[in-house]
Every structure is written in C-alpha cells, then in structure tokens.
Amino acid sequence: MGSLSMQERDRVVYKTYSGSSQDLATGVSAKNGPGGWLVGWYYGNPDAATLDEGSPSITWGDPLVMYGAYLILVSGGLPTTDGGPVTVTITGTSLTEPGVRVPADTEVIVVDGVALNERIQTEKRWLGTVTITLSSAGAAAFSWQFNYGFAMFESFGGRHFEMDQVEIQGVASDDDDEFDLIFYRHNHTGWEFALTDWEMHGELITSLSYIYGPEVQLKKNQPFGGFKREIQQFFKGDQQEGLVIRMKTGSDKTVQNITVHLGAIV
C-alpha cells in the first residue's frame, strides 16, 4: 500500500501516504470500482449473512493473512429468539494494540435490541480467519441478519485529533476523468445494511470533486495536486473513530504515483 512517514511538531502530527493505483488495496464489492484505499481500508462481504439455529456460524478472512483489523457488523434489524439474550461470539487470532498475537481468542457481543443499520465493532483486532457464531441461551429458535467485514482506519495513535489540512500531489500515467479522493469518517453513524452489493464504508465527509468541482481530471504524464486547510473535522481516536480515504479512478492504471500529506492537531 505504498509508503508512510510521520513527524510530530508542537501539537501537529504530519503523516504522508504514498502509492499508485496499481499497488493500493482494492475492495471486494464491484461497486467500489477501480482505485483503492489510500488511508485505512474496508474489506467487506458484499452479501449479508443470515444466522439461525440451523446454521449459526460463518467465517470471514483467509488463513494467515495479516489483517490486524476490527470486525464490523451492520444490523439488518432486530434479532429474533424464543429464549435468552442473543449474542455473537467472535473466535480467532486477535492482535492487541501493542501488537501481541493472541491465538484462540474470543469476544462476545450481546446484540439484543440492535436496530436496522446499527454498527457493531469489536474491541479486538483480528488476524487470519475469524468465526462469527450466533447463539441464544435456552432458545429453540433464533436468527439475525447482518453485513460484515474488516476495517482499518487512521486514528493518529488512538488520540483525539482534528484534521487541519490535506495536501495531494502526484503524476498521472493515463487520462482519467473519474479521478477522486473520497473521505470517510469511521464511527458509529453513516452505515447502511444491504442484502446484496453491500458497499462497506463509514460516514461520508467530503471528496475532491466536491471541494474543487470539475477541475479534478488527470492528463497522461502530467502532474496534479491540491491543497485544503482547516477541514475542521474532529475525531475521537481513543473511542475507535478515525479517517479512511479511498482513491477512485477510471481504471486501475491511471495514477503513476500519488502522495497525500495529512496534518492533524492532537
């Protein structure tokens, strides 16, 4: 996913992300289109899961892959049960915040009373394959429908921070009239459940096309750039909030290289 550098001066942290449209991680859903995730990422199953007493478990992720990400569940509505509270148990290999691997770990989440489009996020981060199991104590019948996937986001080390500036620069390798950078706020709002073709992302903040209007096209072998200060978006990084930026392109080879500088007041 390119390179990253960081420096801290006074109360402002500066981070630099670099990559191209060929080496950025792409999402599962075809609705995302070409391009990739430039800052943070979402990796979700486009089809919803329906778990019940006959089929209470599903798995997500590939073995041995270093996701190191939080598991996200988005509710398709209130669970049903004729027994006790409905719970979801996540099992797999977790990763602690200091980066310690914990094999055969579990996390239990009570999902009674969740509403349509409500987001649930694990406290733990996960590596490789995880198993999601629905249960309800003493119940003969229970069920719940939800979307699911992994999420990684920029939280500036789990701090409260305010986005102060964004600067981009790069070189195009081909013409592109669909180029855009889309900024998402990762928190508990802005999620929408979908049975199929689920496009996994948090709340939309803004985009380059919104900021600059029509002058966001790329020309083959020509440089491009943009700068915006005082974005004034506040994030509670210690409460699992953060920033995700997706790069949208007309094809997967129109950006030769791109650098994004983020400045945050912490």
Dump pLDDT digits (tens) for 178-214.
999 899 999 999 999 999 999 999 999 988 888 888 8
Q: Point out the least confidently predicted range of 25-39, 82-96, 120-134, 145-159.
A: 25-39
Instruction: Indicate the pLDDT class of residue 20, thresholds 50, 70 and 90.
Output: low
| Inter-residue contact 122 to 61 (CB < 8 Å) | no
Of residues 149 and 213, more confidence is placed in 149
| Nearest Cα residue to 167 out of 258, 232, 250 | 258
| Nearest Cα residue to 243 out of 189, 166, 165, 184 | 184
In the predicted model, what is the mean pLDDT of residues 85-112?
95
Report the alpha-carbon distance of residue 106 to residue 131 in Å, rounded: 9
Please report the DSSP string for 14-68 in residue order.
EEEEEE-TTTSBPPSSGGG-SEEEEESEEEE-SS-EEEESSS-EEEES-TT----
User: For the chain, how many helices (H) and strands (E)?
Assistant: 1, 18
Sign of CA dihedral 14, 18, 24, 30: positive
Give alpha helix (H) positions in 153-193.
none
In the predicted model, what is the mean pLDDT of residues 25-51?
77
Q: Point out the least confidently predicted range of 10-14, 24-28, 41-45, 48-52.
A: 24-28
As a whole-number percent, the residues of the chain with pLDDT over 70 amount to 89
The letter for the amino acid at 77 is: G
Helix (H) or strand (E) holding 209: helix 208-212
Tell me, what's the pLDDT at 138? 96
Structure token pair of residue 242: 């953060």
Q: Point out the least confidently predicted range of 19-33, 132-146, 160-174.
A: 19-33
The full set of domains in the chain, from first to last, is 3-40+154-265 (2.60.120), 49-152 (2.60.120)
Tell me, what's the pLDDT at 165? 83
Tell me, what's the pLDDT at 6? 46
Q: Answer whether residue 239 shows pLDDT above 70.
A: yes
Other CB atoms within a 10 A radius of the CB of residue 42 amount to: 25
Q: Answer whether residue 241 shows pLDDT above 60.
A: yes
Sign of CA dihedral 91, 107, 146, 40: negative
**105, 109, 115, 121: CA torsion to nearest 10:** -40
